[in-house]
A and B are shown apart, each in its own frame.
Chain A
Amino acid sequence: MAKESLTEQIALTEVVAQEAPKKTSGVGLWLTQNGVFLFLVVLAVFAAFFVNGFGSLDNVTNILNRAVPLGIVAVGMTFVVISGNYLDLSVVAQVATSGVIFLAVGSEYGLGVAALAATGAAILYGLVNGLAVGLFKANAVIVTLATTYIGLGLLRYFSGGSIFFGPPDGPMDVFGSGKVGPVPYSAFVFLGLTLVLSLVLTRTNFGFLVKSFGVNERATRLGGVNTDMVIVGAFLVTALAAMIAGFVFAAFSNTAVSTMAQGFDFKALGAIIIGGTSVFGGRGSVLRTLLGVIFVSVLDNVLTLLGFTFGFQQLALGVLILLAVTLDVLSRKLGQQ
């Protein structure tokens, strides 16, 4: 084909394709995507001035101690949510399994053996969940519901349902009560893990594929990707985070029992959604989940300090999730215009 005709064609299409793609920007869009965090700042400033005891160092420690185990679970589970697989219900069983192993096996055979055993259990959870969802295309909610009951059942069978205590001033206890200023050691673990997972999600091929799968499973597969392994990876990340959460949680109280992580499943999902990660997959970030967890924990704390009961905390969490979902819907509408 002659050179001239090529340039002719290009000139032609220049005329044809003038339609400019639409632009997404604006204050409204920013607000819908980050409004929740403005709300957090307002809440914290309000509490600092008007809520007695909120600003004390002890209270900061208290908030962090409560936020960290849930937060570690939530940053891990963010991978499953972004992959478009809704959530991993079995974190409830995973955290408890890890906590019990660390205290029961740890006081018997030492922390190293306990860590190996807990990691083994976590990998098993990740593989079973991931292979069932990835390879066999089973629904994540149902698969993880099943593994929750299987895991809790096994745990209760082997533990006899009893509460495990660590030796006072044992390594678990030392870690669990250790602080730098008002900041417990576990908070550094949380922060470190958050940064690492954020890096994995935004900078590695694996993280990219998790997001890509969440946006469009079929296009990702046709890009030559072994998508089954991507899903297994997302569940493994969640399971390893839950294992760490179990360690931190057991260390904090120096006790562990099969019911210790009750409610972590949906509370972690709530924090993820409040952070702005889409439950439909494809959109979100680990750092947003961190902020979501802080929000939920600060709110709980403020309500407790103000003398509201647990019921009110639940009510507030529910309202907050609704608000976050509303903002998400609005942001998608604005983004499309």
Chain B
Amino acid sequence: MTPSASSSTGPVIEAHSIVKKFGGAIAVDDVSIEVYPGEIHAVVGENGAGKSTLMRVLAGVHQQDSGSVIVDGVKLEGGAKESIDLGVSLVHQELSLVPEMTVAENILLGSAPTTLGFTNFSEMKNIARSALEEIGVSVDLDERISRLSVALRQFVEIARAVARKPKVLILDEPTATLTPAETDYLLEMLQRLAGRGMAIVYISHRIPEVFRICHNVTILRDGKRVSVTAVAESTPEGVVDQMVGRELKKDLGSHRDATPSDVVLKAEGIRAPSVDDVDLEVRAGEIVGLGGLVGAGRTEIVRAIIGADARKSGRVTITVDGKTRIISSYQSAIRAGVGYIPEERRVDGLALTMTVAENINLPNRKELSTAGFQQTKKIRTFAQRLAEQVGLRPPEIKREAGQYSGGNQQKIVIAKWLGRRPAVMVLDEPTRGVDVGAKAEIHRLIKELADQGTAVLIVSSDLPELLELSDTIHVVRDGKIQGSIGHQDATEKAVMSLASGEKLVGA
């Protein structure tokens, strides 16, 4: 059926009519899938379509309510441990490494070789080394995970799965945190592994990746399987249409015409750890993008500018209505009208077990209270208006933020700051791990903000997003702005050639 999936042997993993419910909600509804040795099989769908749940059922992490999973002819019944023993390895969406342990320890976590009950460290290193060699990544085995870049951590995570010698390797959004060059590397690695007969199940939001490396694609929507086809016989547009359930409008991602006016945010000579003498200006109504590879220092630059991290030197000012204020601390930045959407929304952006209203109240509490006492009604009206404005679905402000999907959570983070009519909005990876629909809405919100005169500074590893939104793109490498590109000259190629220039992996 596909070039490298040999039809002479049967599927290495097959699932029949899987149903998985959480409480009353059906996450996976009667889905079947089979994957052959050497095949790269994509599973695509919007957030909440049931991809991750299906993968966890395949890996034995979740127990299905009905249906069966068969690995190499053996029916899977015994949970995650048995699943691993049978040769199914899952690379989780959230990084599950222990930051304070070494690379080798993490790769063998839970399966460390022992001699008379003591950990056999030399054997452990041998296994870890060969797993890393298998995926073609070189990194110091004794380095602590906390000292590695996000990309390298992702590769260590994959090495950990590969060290178990799996027949089936499942990857859940492995490229979400990677830059294009790192993504290329990962995709080539997967092709090599498949070439050696490994079956790979690949979940991604990024359709071009699917068309680059996958043989077949299963499309899920609302927990149901919409279709399964050979990639060679379909088109990216067709796949997206089936994911979304209707045709995606083409003009969705057009660049807006900007009319920037006065300089609002001005940063001069910023130095901080991983930030090397950065000058930067953002005008009212302008969107300035920071491009570059992961670890280039973009997050560090914006955090140093707004005072979220300490600066070694440099001067930052914000000018609104002719009044210039010096930004000396994060709190002074907030007072001067900065809104900040951090990179790690679940850790830095939201209090997940608090309600939507409480989260929105946090940066607006002073305006929503009288003499320190909260105005409950005012808070409710305010939060409700913002929840609707950002398109939170459903817009129920008494729900806990953690009950919403990634895209909706990001809308809550944006809503927190929107109500302040920020003079400067700083967004770090605003649509990472967010589905296409929510992404379009978040882009609309960012453009509207700029149209209303906010100075927007955005960090994104998503090149099409960066190109669509930015009026000016500064490309960062080694904590320095290497070059700046105006919107009319901006192409993916132009950004990447400034951003790269170094070998990708290999510390």
Residue numbers of A with Cβ under 8 A of B are 1-2, 5-6, 8-10, 12-24, 203-206, 208-209, 211-212, 215-216, 218-226, 282-283, 337
Cβ-defined partner of A15 (8 Å) among B246, B335, B340, B441: B246
**Separation of A263 and B342 alpha carbons in the complex (Å):** 44
**Chain A residues with CB under 8 A of B342:** 222
**Nearest residue, chain A, Cβ from B411:** A17
Take A1-B254, A216-B350, A226-B331 as given contacts and tell me if A205 and B393 are in contact as well, using a CB distance cutoff of 8 Å.
no
| Docked-complex contact A1 and B403, CB < 8 angstroms | no
Take A16-B435, A206-B372 as given contacts and tell me if A9 and B440 are in contact as well, using a CB distance cutoff of 8 Å.
yes
Take A216-B350, A222-B330, A337-B22 as given contacts and tell me if A17 and B246 are in contact as well, using a CB distance cutoff of 8 Å.
no
**Separation of A135 and B120 alpha carbons in the complex (Å):** 43
Q: How many whole Å from A310's CB to the nearest CB in chain B?
A: 39
| Docked-complex contact B245 and A15, CB < 8 angstroms | yes
**Separation of A337 and B21 alpha carbons in the complex (Å):** 10
For A17, A18, A22, the residue with the greatest tally of chain B CB atoms inside 10 Å of its CB is A17
Please choose the segment from B104-112, B149-157, B284-292, B363-371 that sits at the chain A interface, where 4 or more of its residues have CB less than 8 A away. B363-371
| Docked-complex contact B25 and A203, CB < 8 angstroms | no
**Chain A residues with CB under 8 A of B374:** 203-205, 208
Does B438 sit within 8 A of A, measured CB to CB? Answer: yes
| Docked-complex contact B252 and A9, CB < 8 angstroms | yes
Q: How many whole Å from B489's CB to the nearest CB in chain A?
A: 22
**Chain A residues with CB under 8 A of B252:** 5, 9, 12
| Docked-complex contact B408 and A218, CB < 8 angstroms | no
| Docked-complex contact A222 and B349, CB < 8 angstroms | yes
**Nearest residue, chain B, Cβ from A218:** B348
Q: 25 A-B Cβ contacts within 8 A?
A: A9-B441, A12-B244, A12-B437, A12-B440, A15-B246, A18-B222, A19-B47, A19-B222, A19-B405, A21-B396, A22-B25, A23-B24, A203-B374, A206-B372, A212-B358, A216-B352, A216-B354, A219-B350, A219-B362, A220-B351, A222-B348, A226-B331, A282-B354, A283-B353, A337-B23
Take A220-B362, A337-B22, A337-B23 as given contacts and tell me if A204 and B249 are in contact as well, using a CB distance cutoff of 8 Å.
no
**Nearest residue, chain B, Cβ from A227:** B331
Cβ-defined partner of B399 (8 Å) among A13, A21, A218: A21
What 1/0 mask marks residues of chain B from 339 to 357 whose CB sits below 8 Å from any chain A CB? 0101000011111111000
**Interface size class of chain B, counting residues whose CB lies under 8 Å from the partner chain:** 35 or more
Tell me if A's interface is mostly helix, strand, loop or mixed: helix
**Chain A residues with CB under 8 A of B348:** 218-219, 222
**Nearest residue, chain A, Cβ from B329:** A226
| Docked-complex contact B405 and A17, CB < 8 angstroms | yes
**Chain A residues with CB under 8 A of B350:** 216, 219
| Docked-complex contact A13 and B372, CB < 8 angstroms | no
**Separation of A15 and B437 alpha carbons in the complex (Å):** 8
**Separation of A283 and B358 alpha carbons in the complex (Å):** 13
Q: How many whole Å from A195's CB to the nearest CB in chain B?
A: 15
Q: Which of B428-446 contact A (CB under 8 A)?
A: 435-438, 440-441, 444
**Nearest residue, chain A, Cβ from B353:** A215
Does B308 sit within 8 A of A, measured CB to CB? Answer: yes
| Docked-complex contact A224 and B363, CB < 8 angstroms | yes
**Chain A residues with CB under 8 A of B351:** 212, 215-216, 219-220, 282
**Separation of A226 and B352 alpha carbons in the complex (Å):** 20
Does B224 sit within 8 A of A, measured CB to CB? Answer: no
